[in-house]
Structure 1
């Protein structure tokens, strides 16, 4: 399951070039790293046959941001993991595009950017570092939250997450998470007022995997004024019914088009 999950996310980061001006992905070439090497796998740029080997100052950093959200009249302390590209601290006047990246059933907010088994940087985080260092994508901020108010709410069936997905898309995302993130980090929003967040929508994307993809469609439907790019992976829209993309495709498409 984890291997399939990681492979899907590799596709995600490449496709996310819709927002961050990703150049020719076919030029990326990963090479194995020698044992005990301190470098991450190499890539080659489009304009050079020389591999790019990362130095420490070319690696982005990970932070955790905390915020509160209310669910069924109970307040919950939530966290999201933040990827900051290399040079973020030094380039104090630079603004950054933001990709909000949401997990699927049973997964947590740390699982995109951190390897759960080792606690080290994930392959996705390393790929972001390499693509930015090679000028294949623009530096960007990645926000990895969770739609679970609390881990105790995880059930055995992924379809039971659907109400949480809808609630996250319609309430928590815009009311709690985005204001906290974009008040803390240098995005293109001049402030976290609704007007300024809407004015900066061209610099904001939402992506999700599996039940995170279900959420992505809800974000498209309900938060179109805040986001301009949407990347649902391995999940369709459930706005009409569960698995509506296959069970009721015409009705789903019509509602989304409206």
Structure 2
């Protein structure tokens, strides 16, 4: 009897493994940034067997001090995506996790915006997006594309959705870094990359974007589904709530989740389980 149970368990494990998606590491040669830029990409089960199938795409952005491996290694997103797709809570999708930083913050470029010496936003939209979507036959239109991320990536996701509302069906921002003091607590200098990314976040303030939005811009923002998710003990809590309030004042519908939690992976593990189904529901059929 014990032998039979062991055999059944092994068969079950093999079955689960064969239904799993995969995370691949790829790279783009960027003329804009003058270097090769790595990214991880999740492809769902059956991706290789259906070369003609087109998938919706999610851009999943990491936070400050992390890199393109964070969502795979710390976030365990492959396990989450497999479970959600298998249960029907999310549709089969491609998830692209681009590199926009690293732990050596004083000497490594961090950030999703253009700044002196680092035109990341141009790279993202002019090089990464078209090349990755063509290679992995995904995205291609607003209704088949979403962007989400945590902390620095949550702010990047929000601003990308604001500045490129014609390209994304939904934005899910986790513990989002939406504004800063503009680096005033640091000495200005091109060699201090922490100063540069802090200033870039201030220069691309998601709150100021909504405050200053005219009616045409507001209408464009209404075409995107918005979701802000932040822990009640997160140091970025007030910024997230303030942006939600500003959007409500201009009748831009957004969802806000405030759960018990801090600015850490324990919180984001839960958030990603909400984020992927949210994106899935808002893809065009």
What is the TM-score normalised by the length of structure 2? 0.56
Supply the distance in 1 between the matched residues of 2:213 and 2:24 (Cα, whole angstroms).
35
C-alpha distance 181-254 of structure 1, shift in aligned 2 (>3 A):
same
Select which of 159, 163, 182 maps to 1:222: 163
Q: Which residue, out of 89, 98, 101, partners 2:60?
A: 101
| 1:178 lines up with 2:129 in the alignment | yes
CA contact (8 A) 2:43 2:95 kept: yes
CA 234–154 in structure 1, closer or farther in 2 if over 3 Å, else same: same
- CA drift at 1:128: 0.9
For residues 1-258 of structure 1, the aligned pairs below 5 Å read: 55-70=16-31, 75-115=34-74, 123-148=76-101, 151=102, 154-155=105-106, 161=110, 164-167=111-114, 170-189=121-140, 200-238=141-179, 251-255=208-212, 258=217
CA distance in 2, matches of 1:248, 1:136: 30
Alignment partners' CA distance in 2, 1:113 and 1:236: 21
In structure 2, the CA distance between the partners of 1:229 and 1:201, relative to structure 1 (3 Å rule), is same
Q: 1:240 to 1:130 in 2, by over 3 A?
A: same
Paired residue total: 185
Structure-2 change in CA distance of 1:136 and 1:91 (3 Å): same
Secondary structure at 2:94's aligned position in 1? strand
Cα deviation code 1:115-174 (max 9, x no counterpart): 5xxxxxx632111111111222110000001223xx486239xxx94xx32126631111
Structure 1 unaligned blocks of 5 or more: 1-36, 42-52, 116-121, 190-199
| Counterpart position of 2:5 | none
Cα distance change, pair 248–75 in 1 and its aligned pair in 2 (3 A): closer
Relative to structure 1, the CA distance from residue 215 to residue 40 in structure 2 (aligned partners, 3 Å threshold; closer, same or farther) is: farther
Q: For 1:123 and 1:94, how far apart are their aligned partners in 2?
A: 25
Check 1:142–1:38 CA distance in 2 against 1; reply closer, same or farther (3 A cut). farther
Say if 1:174 and 1:252 are closer, same or farther in 2 by CA, change over 3 A.
closer
Larger radius of gyration, structure 1 or 2?
2
Counterpart Cα distance in 1 of 2:22 and 2:130: 21
Report the TM-score when normalising by structure 1.
0.61
Contact 1:218 1:239 in 2 (8 A): no
CA distance in structure 1 between the aligned counterparts of 2:178 and 2:65, rounded to whole angstroms: 19
Pairwise CA RMSD of aligned residues? 3.5
Question: Deviation of residue 232 (structure 1)?
Answer: 1.3
3-state DSSP of counterpart to 1:181: helix
Asked if the contact 2:24/2:42 (under 8 Å) is kept, the reply is yes
How many Å separate the matches in 1 of 2:181 and 2:167? 22
Alpha-carbon separation, structure 1, partners of 2:176 and 2:61: 12
Instruction: Extract unaligned runs of 5+ from structure 2.
Output: 1-8, 183-197, 218-285
State the secondary structure of the residue aligned to 1:88: coil
